[in-house]
Amino acid sequence: MISDLKTLDALMARMQALGITELDYSRDGEHIRLVRDGQDRSPPTSSPAPAIAASSAPAAETVAAPAKAETTIEAPMHGQFYTSAAPDVPPFVKPGDIVAEGQPLYILEVMKTLSRIEAEFPCRIVAVLAANAEAVSPGTPLFSVEPLDA
């Protein structure tokens, strides 16, 4: 059973936004494989792309999108993802927070070394996609963010 439906919803929304038809995701011994048919449930604005093309580049679609495009902050390397500096303190960021460039986002523990990872650009946190204390690998989506003008 999937313990975090918010993560599942975020993964499915990201798949649709990027035009991805298949996704494998593993976390804490759970393995999730999502497969969609590539057909949007809303009225299509373009013909569906073949699965090979969808995995190599996002489909060009006109979707009612917010003024700013969302992007994903991903794990740079293998490690343990922590949302706060200690278990008894609040997380560095939460959905809805406005983050300045250089503000701490999370801690990544790699080989027993803790590194505080900071925002590379100003943004608004849309969703936290990884769970606290989750083992991550390069490319694991950690945050969905909306970049802000400096």
Residue in 142, 102, 93, 99 with CA at minimum distance from that of residue 120: 102
Whether residues 83 and 121 fall in one domain: yes
The whole-number average pLDDT for the span 17-28 is: 65
The helix/strand/coil state of 76 is: coil
Per-residue pLDDT tens over the stretch 4-19: 666 666 777 766 666 6
Answer whether residue 90 is part of any domain: yes
Whether residues 51 and 84 fall in one domain: no
Answer whether residue 65 is part of any domain: no
Answer whether residue 63 is part of any domain: no
- The last residue of a domain, from among 32, 56, 80: 56
- Residue 129's domain comprises 71-147
**Structural domain tally of the chain?**
2
Whether residues 99 and 47 fall in one domain: no
CA distances from 133 to 39, 64, 66, 140 (A): 35, 35, 31, 13
Question: Which CATH number do you get for residue 110?
Answer: 2.40.50.100
Q: Is the pLDDT of residue 52 over 80?
A: no
Whether residues 14 and 78 fall in one domain: no
First to last CA, the chain: 42
Per-residue pLDDT tens over the stretch 85-115: 998 999 999 999 999 999 999 999 999 999 9
pLDDT at 34: 72
**pTM of this structure:** 0.55
